[in-house]
Amino acid sequence: MTTMLTIGQLASYAGVTVRTVRHYHVKGLLPEPERDHSGYRRYGAAAVVELVKIRTLAEAGVPLSRLPALLVADAEEFAAASLEIDRRLQEEIAERERCREHIAHLASGDSLALPPSVVAYLARMRELGFRERLVELERDSWILMAAKMPDAIVSLMEIKRAQIEDPSLRELYLDMGDLVDCAADDPRLPTLADRVVAFLEEVFVRYEDTEDAFPVDQRLFELLDQTFLESVPCAWRLLELLEERGFTGWTNIQRVPAVR
Amino acid sequence: MTTMLTIGQLASYAGVTVRTVRHYHVKGLLPEPERDHSGYRRYGAAAVVELVKIRTLAEAGVPLSRLPALLVADAEEFAAASLEIDRRLQEEIAERERCREHIAHLASGDSLALPPSVVAYLARMRELGFRERLVELERDSWILMAAKMPDAIVSLMEIKRAQIEDPSLRELYLDMGDLVDCAADDPRLPTLADRVVAFLEEVFVRYEDTEDAFPVDQRLFELLDQTFLESVPCAWRLLELLEERGFTGWTNIQRVPAVR
DNA sequence: TTGCTCCTCACGTCACGTGAGGTGGC
DNA sequence: TTGCTCCTCACGTCACGTGAGGTGGC
């Protein structure tokens, strides 16, 4: 039997390491062959056929624990299994294609942390001349928002996009951008509050009949307001000034009796 | 800071488990964030951006140990790395395509253990009417041969294909197929030996000038002879009969003084 | 009050890789 | 004789998974 293969010959022909063949013996996938006079394993052609089959399946991503059943399966069972394996391979190929796109995005500096609708909204803000500082602030807010309420983002973005396309609201918002980093006692804040109120009065007249036009969760409003308060230092002061002028809240602003 | 994300919110937004995020903290890929009053981790937008970046690279197959360097790389370094990552992804896609073909071969019953040249040779044997038993015997021999001397197989197959296309040699070989499983004292063996000798005499006259036409390794001849001896029970008797008639060896048969 | 989320160890998993220490064949 | 292959433990690796046992928020 001197023509029979040593473990090294078997392994290299199948393109695996000697350790891998021994691993398959331990796992019971490949039967232990006879030993020669010095205790070396000696393999025949059948072992090569089996090992190549094992490798073909293992390389296709089939867990070794599934192999014993597959190796004794009849043609019909095997055909069914191979269809499933092929589907998995196709899915993995599609995944890698998606990975390639993601990596390309990363390389061109995009962050991938935001849904496309928000990315488009932020791009439009930049286009309209909003200060970069404000855009970044919005970006961080929307990241948190998207993580907390993923389902609400798309419709929220529609509302926000409509808002910045409204000329008067946009102007107000642009000016607010200049006050994002200001202190609570900044003298421009009362003026801004006056302008917000003037704008709101007009809106409230215009849309008096469509009070519940946005069926948005109250908890979402609270979340958005909180984000505003946490990211803009002078936000609390602005809300205070608005309350003095008869309004409460921010995202879903409402008329109340004036505090002062 | 109530708008900040819990570990569960962060994880599910990035499409990973909570355990994975904690794993990245331990590995130092994602900085440990501040804790809230009850010891819970609280994450901001920056953590989301980082985690998504980590996941994009990890899903692309980049080992976590390479990530620290990549996460602080400048645009140029990152572009170079991303090209390499993309190459690897393409290679993995090509691998899966090859896997798909291999699995399809397995499903249709092919063994994949033999190089195509041998498969073609065996198919031609069947076409020419060789007994299945002989074809199987050749198959097993060539599997061992291919594993022992992978480089010799292609040229050997050319020789073998030429041999079975030679009508007189083929006839001899076809008849030998009937004696593959016979005992050493089978009465047909001496007759076969006579026919082999008659054929050889003719060949030796025809090719007298081209003695070293095949520059084949002597060790390969020994290997092929040994395979013959081990796989055919009556082989030793046939070689004995040939030596009585003035020839020695089998694969590289030579004229010698007759033994008897 | 119940269930869900969070916390920290710490061992398990999968498919081998990698020495450690020793023997056999050319 | 030297180098290469083979042998058997047995621990290591990679990227988390999976309880174990306990606390905090609605």
Q: For A52-86, how does the pLDDT look when each residue is reduced to its tens digit (9 = 90+)?
A: 999 999 999 999 999 999 999 999 999 999 999 99
Of A143-147, B77-81, B214-218, which gets the smallest average pLDDT?
B214-218
- Looking at residue B199, its pLDDT comes to 83
Q: Cβ of B59 and A102 within 8 Å?
A: yes
Find which of B13, B99, B138 to mutate to test the A interface (most A CBs within 10 Å of its CB): B99
Whether residue B106 lies within 8 A of chain A, CB to CB, comes out as yes
For residues B50 and B174, the model is more confident at B50
- Looking at residue B7, its pLDDT comes to 97
Q: Cβ of B140 and A46 within 8 Å?
A: yes
Q: Cβ of A86 and B93 within 8 Å?
A: no
Q: Is the pLDDT of residue B209 over 60?
A: no
Q: Select the residue of B52, B86, B107 nearest A82 (Cβ to Cβ).
A: B107
- Looking at residue A29, its pLDDT comes to 97
Strand C: which residues 59-88 of B lie within 7 A (CB)? Answer: none
Which range is most confident: A188-197, B69-78, B245-254?
B69-78
Distance of alpha carbon B162 from alpha carbon B122, whole angstroms: 13
Q: Is the CB of A155 under 7 A from strand C?
A: no
Size of interface A-B (CB pairs under 8 A): 154
Closest residue on chain A to B148 (Cα): A9
DSSP for A31-91?
----B-TTS-B-B-HHHHHHHHHHHHHHHTT--GGGHHHHHT--HHHHHHHHHHHHHHHHH
Name the token pair of B53.
């970046």
- Contacts of A79-86 with C-beta under 8 Å, sequence gap 24+, read A79/B107, A82/B103, A82/B104, A82/B106, A82/B107, A85/A57, A85/A60, A85/A61, A85/B103, A86/B100, A86/B103, A86/B104
pLDDT bracket for residue A2 (50, 70, 90): confident
Strand C: which residues 10-29 of B lie within 7 A (CB)? Answer: 18, 22
Interface of B with A in 110-129 (CB under 8 A): 111-113
For residues B133 and B30, the model is more confident at B30
Interface of A with B in 198-237 (CB under 8 A): 223, 226-227, 230
